[in-house]
């Protein structure tokens, strides 16, 4: 079968590898669509593991089911979660599913940028979700990133009517915009260094969109009735975005660090101000099976529209072009690879 083999961001090769064989408790799924995630182009995160087949925002059709699999059948349309929790460790029992060791070590074989994947038994047990008839394969590629966003806003305890400020208007930041609006946020503001991204934010209903190289705190206060934001979401891994978070969160507010900074990055914190102004800082990583179920329903019900975020559809043979578009981060949002 064909796959897009990752060596680094500018070296994605169309290669032939064997179709993986499956065991009696496993599934073979034919890929129909797989989105390129922003994390796929973070070389510091990926390149040390190369060569490998990436892709985790994957939907497809069951091509073969192992002899012991009774819950799923050949021909069914599915979304497959690459990370699944054990549900029994101290972290899972406390509701912290996404820091579970099992979740962090599970995956499918190879990655979603291949014509077929093998779904291991544990993923079959708790990581396969039937796509509703009214959710397309392409829409289904948003389930995983939307679940991550939804979990983050739940952890941050977003309340209806609160103001939200999102640093970074990439696909994650714009999904945060859409989810915040769907969950009843009041005003939702966005900042980014790229005018193209700010145009997307305005298109998707941002109350205000600010260039990052201007006086953002002052613009935010002017647009938000003299106040900073109740919830600041850091959806860009740049140090500048983290430093801006302290300057744009209102007293009693929350900062959600959503995008990962590069390992080894340390920044000074205005600890007195954080203490004095009652600021909460929290983080989030990945999504749980419950978040995936809720994200799927948001898409099915059209409470969060996703099709208008698809800017490019490319075949496996052009995956390298897709990675370049995502890394450039200008006139692309969601790039989807299809067989």
Residue 63 sits in a domain whose CATH number is: 3.90.180.10
Q: Is 75 left (phi over 0), alpha (psi -120 to 50) or beta?
A: left
Give the whole-angstrom CA distance, residue 128 versus residue 122: 10
| Confidence at residue 121, expressed as pLDDT on a 0 to 100 scale | 98
Average pLDDT of the residues in 234-242: 94
pLDDT at 44 over 90: no
Boundary of a domain, candidates 239, 268, 283: 283
Average pLDDT of the residues in 24-42: 95
Each residue's pLDDT tens digit, 137-150 = 999 999 999 999 99
pLDDT at 254 over 90: yes
Hey, which residues does 337 pair with through a beta bridge?
A: 34, 314
Hey, which residues does 78 pair with through a beta bridge?
A: 60, 130
Asked whether residue 57 falls in the same domain as residue 100, the answer is: yes
**Given pLDDT bands bounded at 50, 70 and 90, which one contains residue 331?**
confident
Asked whether residue 253 falls in the same domain as residue 178, the answer is: yes
pLDDT at 260 over 90: no
| Confidence at residue 272, expressed as pLDDT on a 0 to 100 scale | 96
Asked whether residue 176 falls in the same domain as residue 198, the answer is: yes
**Given pLDDT bands bounded at 50, 70 and 90, which one contains residue 160?**
very high
Into how many domains does the chain fold?
A: 2
CB-count exposure of residue 16 (10 Å: 0-12, 13-18, 19+): exposed
Give the whole-angstrom CA distance, residue 16 versus residue 317: 11
Asked whether residue 176 falls in the same domain as residue 291, the answer is: no
Each residue's pLDDT tens digit, 71-92 = 999 999 999 999 999 999 999 9
Full-model pTM: 0.96
Residue 254 sits in a domain whose CATH number is: 3.40.50.720
The boundaries of the domain holding residue 212 are: 157-283
Give the whole-angstrom CA distance, residue 144 versus residue 334: 13
Asked whether residue 205 falls in the same domain as residue 238, the answer is: yes
Q: What is the mean pLDDT of the chain?
A: 96
- The answer to whether 178 touches 305, Cβ cutoff 8 Å, is yes
pLDDT at 25 over 90: yes
Report yes or no on 152 lying in a domain. Answer: no
Report yes or no on 151 lying in a domain. Answer: no
pLDDT at 133 over 90: yes
Q: Quick one: what percent of the chain has pLDDT higher than 90? A: 91
Q: How far is CA 10 from CA 42, 45, 80, 320, in A?
A: 12, 15, 27, 7
């Amino acid at each position: 079968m064909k796959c897009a083999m990752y060596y680094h961001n500018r070296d994605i090769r169309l290669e032939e590898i064997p179709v993986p064989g499956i065991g009696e408790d496993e599934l073979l799924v034919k890929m129909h669509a797989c989105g390129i995630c922003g994390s796929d182009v973070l070389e510091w995160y990926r390149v040390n593991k190369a060569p490998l087949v990436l892709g985790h925002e994957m939907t497809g059709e069951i091509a073969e089911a192992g002899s012991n699999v009774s819950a799923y059948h050949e021909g069914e349309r599915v979304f497959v979660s690459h990370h699944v929790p054990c549900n029994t460790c101290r972290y899972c029992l406390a509701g912290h599913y996404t820091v579970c060791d099992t979740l962090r070590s599970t995956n499918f074989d190879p990655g979603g940028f291949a014509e077929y994947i093998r779904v291991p038994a544990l993923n079959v047990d708790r990581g396969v979700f039937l796509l509703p008839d009214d959710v397309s394969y392409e829409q289904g590629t948003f389930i995983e990133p939307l679940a991550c966003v939804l979990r983050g806003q739940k952890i941050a305890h977003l309340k209806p009517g609160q103001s939200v400020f999102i640093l970074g208007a990439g696909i994650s930041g714009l999904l945060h915009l859409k989810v915040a609006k769907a969950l009843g946020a009041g005003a939702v503001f966005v900042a980014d260094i790229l005018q193209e991204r700010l145009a997307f934010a305005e298109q998707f209903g941002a109350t205000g969109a600010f260039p990052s190289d201007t006086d953002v705190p002052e613009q935010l206060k002017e647009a938000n009735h003299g106040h900073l934001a109740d919830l600041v979401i850091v959806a860009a891994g740049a140090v500048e975005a983290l430093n801006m978070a302290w300057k744009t969160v209102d007293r009693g507010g929350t900062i959600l660090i959503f995008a990962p900074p590069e390992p080894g990055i340390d920044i000074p914190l205005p600890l007195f101000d954080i203490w004095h102004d009652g600021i909460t800082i929290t983080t989030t990583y990945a999504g749980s099976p419950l978040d995936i179920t809720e994200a799927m329903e948001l898409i099915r019900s059209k409470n969060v529209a996703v099709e208008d975020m698809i800017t490019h559809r490319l075949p496996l043979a052009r995956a390298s072009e897709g990675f370049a578009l995502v890394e450039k981060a200008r006139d692309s949002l969601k790039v989807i690879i299809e067989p």
